Structure 1
Amino acid sequence: MINIAFLQLLPAGNLKENMEKGIEYCKKAKKMGADIALFPEMWSCGYYIPHDMEALNELAVPADGEFVTRYKELAKELDMAIGITFLERYEPRPRNTICLYDRHGKSVYKYSKVHICNFGEADDESVLCAGDEFPVAELNTAKGNLRVGSMICYDREFPESARILMLKRAELVLVPNACPMEINRLSQLRGRAYENMFAIATCNYPSPHPDCNGHSTLFDGVVYLPEQLGSRDTCILETDESEGVFLAELDINMLRQFQKREQQNLKNRRPELYRILAEK
């Protein structure tokens, strides 16, 4: 079993306080038995995105700066993987990024949100740069290795995001989030786990953070078991709206056995008919 901690936290108000609060709750997660700790989207600034470029650049932090490096060190100190999220200083404009560190403090990947929220509104992500790849890499935990990738919030609304991660053999997808998790978005996550036969762990901000309502989730993606008639509920965890650390167990061995049994989902694909997806 891999224990995943969802740090469903309210931001503290500034970069230093967010860093300190995040460290405190990572330590709590470790005491609870976590192997992986995941933050909500852009924890460094509490998903605050000024549209004044000077203010935006001032708020952004470098991937090799003190904020991120402290969590790299903390992962090693705690012997626990950490997915830390931040507004990344980047040229020509900042990015919405997660860095995943393993239990030795080794960088596993850096992923920047590919599908930025560009809705023509004053508080959207149109001032940010988009990422350009979906990395999947081997994550070392105290319970063994597993293949991990990420989507960030709006990425989940594009089935191509999850399918690329599936084709790269992801077993667990970490999803930092900052939006209301209602029935349709929760159904998207359930569907992505079902379609792609992997687990999806989503960490959201709690209420009363603006436009957020908690409901962090773990869907394990295991739809059928040989000894069980019919399908099973893949939802392992759905939190309430409150602030706190929530722990969920992912049965990685059960997931791997399921992936082996369901290989026809890959075999029966017809990629020669999918060209329109890349042309339109």
Structure 2
Amino acid sequence: MSSKVTIGLIQASNDVHGDESVAVHKEKAIEKHLLLVREAASKGAQIICLQEIFYGPYFCAEQSTKWYESAEEVPNGPTIQLFQEVAKELGTVMIVPVYERVGIGTYYNTAAVIDADGTYLGKYRKQHIPHVGVGNEGCGFWEKFYFKPGNLGYPVFDTAFAKVGVYICYDRHFPEGARLLGLNGAEIVFNPSATVAGLSEYLWKLEQPAHAVANGYYVAAINRVGVEEPWNMGEFYGQSYLVDPRGRFVAMGSRDKDEVVIAEMDKNLIHEVRDLWQFYRDRRPETYGDMVELLP
């Protein structure tokens, strides 16, 4: 098997006004993203990742029970089953971030991982849930209204092309989970996001290259683009990218347009970097106990 793997990252705007029905949002967004997935596959992408809760707007800009209707079971909901068929048809691994419903009234921010033969491998549930106002009055990242914190740990999925971990948006501010993904064997970590200018943009090109260097793996960061109506909470600034274990940007998308970002990872570089920087050997976990104590 080749050490080279082609990665496809999809960033896109939401084309439907937020006041439209959930059904309209999902139909239009899925239709749009299927075209972008096929474009990525036609350009050689072997692993494709979509943006955070890709099938609609970033509805956490408001607090409305309307958006509960967009949640689905994972993997038994229609969206994941559809993308299982697409993955099998195209021979690509897919990371598909959706709004997950469990039972009655329990919701998670989730990404399903689908292998190149269409097999559902498992899911990651976003661990760190923000709740902060931003932009226009009343707008914010009101995620605690919509999501429970994840409860599935930091799994790594052994796909046809690479060992894949997932971290979702706000998770990227926490190095602990990033390290656990490395300890669990990740060769590449995908971070599908929805983040706006004026809040965390100055961190966008700092934190995740640092995770890549500290943990000796690739990081793929995905952000949507555009300004979403009617909230106008800020500009989703795109710039999706792949960064290597040396912290070098392999490829980066534009700031303001729908785009398929294609980049290549080389698993041999992971071995090379880890042989040079023996961070896993030199860790001292027995000295880190204070990190997990309930300190203020």
TM-score, normalised on structure 1?
A: 0.88
Q: Kindly report the root-mean-square deviation, in angstroms, between the aligned alpha carbons of the 2 structures.
A: 1.8
**Post-superposition offset of 1:18:** 1.2
Match of 2:213 among 194, 206, 224: 194
**What is the distance in 1 between the residues matched to 2:159 and 2:125?**
18
1:2 maps to 5
**What is the distance in 2 between the residues matched to 1:254 and 1:162?**
19
Instruction: Write the letter of the residue equivalent to 1:212.
Output: F
2:57 aligns to what SS in structure 1?
A: coil
Match of 2:77 among 61, 65, 75: 65
Task: Kindly provide the CA deviation profile for residues 75-96 of structure 1, in whole angstroms up to 9, marking residues without a partner as x.
Answer: 0000111111111113543211
Pairing 1:213–2:237 present: yes
Of 72-81 and 55-64, deviating more is: 55-64
Match of 1:259 among 270, 274, 281: 274
**Post-superposition offset of 1:66:** 1.1
Q: Is the 8 A contact 2:9 2:49 kept in 1?
A: yes
Instruction: Write the letter of the residue equivalent to 1:9.
Output: A
Gaps of 5+ in 1: 224-232
**Post-superposition offset of 1:26:** 0.8
**What is the distance in 2 between the residues matched to 1:160 and 1:234?**
22
1:173 maps to 189
**What is the distance in 2 between the residues matched to 1:205 and 1:25?**
13
**What is the distance in 1 between the residues matched to 2:235 and 2:131?**
16
Instruction: Write the letter of the residue equivalent to 1:168.
Output: N
1:76 maps to 88
**Post-superposition offset of 1:204:** 0.7
What percent of counterpart residues are identical? 28
1:189 aligns to what SS in structure 2?
A: helix
**What is the distance in 1 between the residues matched to 2:236 and 2:123?**
25
Match of 2:58 among 47, 51, 63: 47
**What is the distance in 2 between the residues matched to 1:73 and 1:47?**
26
**Post-superposition offset of 1:58:** 1.2
**Post-superposition offset of 1:68:** 1.6
1:85 maps to 97
**What is the distance in 2 between the residues matched to 1:193 and 1:256?**
13
**Post-superposition offset of 1:182:** 2.4
**Post-superposition offset of 1:276:** 1.1
* Paired residues for 1:228-267 under 5 Å: 234-241=248-255, 242-262=257-277, 264-267=278-281
Gaps of 5+ in 2: 17-24, 229-233
* Paired residues for 1:5-24 under 5 Å: 5-13=8-16, 14-24=25-35
Q: Is the 8 A contact 2:225 2:235 kept in 1?
A: no
Instruction: Write the letter of the residue equivalent to 1:99.
Output: A
Aligned pair count reads: 264
**Post-superposition offset of 1:39:** 0.7
Task: Kindly provide the CA deviation profile for residues 114-140 of structure 1, in whole angstroms up to 9, marking residues without a partner as x.
Answer: 001123675410111111211112111
Of 113-122 and 127-136, deviating more is: 113-122
Change over 3 Å in CA distance of 1:122–1:208 after alignment to 2: closer
**What is the distance in 1 between the residues matched to 2:276 and 2:249?**
20
Task: Kindly provide the CA deviation profile for residues 166-205 of structure 1, in whole angstroms up to 9, marking residues without a partner as x.
Answer: 1112110011010036232310011111111111001110
Q: Is the 8 A contact 1:178 1:211 kept in 2?
A: no
Change over 3 Å in CA distance of 1:45–1:89 after alignment to 2: farther
* Paired residues for 1:107-118 under 5 Å: 107-118=120-131
Q: Is the 8 A contact 1:82 1:101 kept in 2?
A: yes
Q: Is the 8 A contact 1:45 1:87 kept in 2?
A: no
2:117 aligns to what SS in structure 1?
A: coil
**What is the distance in 1 between the residues matched to 2:207 and 2:129?**
17
**What is the distance in 1 between the residues matched to 2:57 and 2:113?**
18
Instruction: Write the letter of the residue equivalent to 1:271.
Output: P
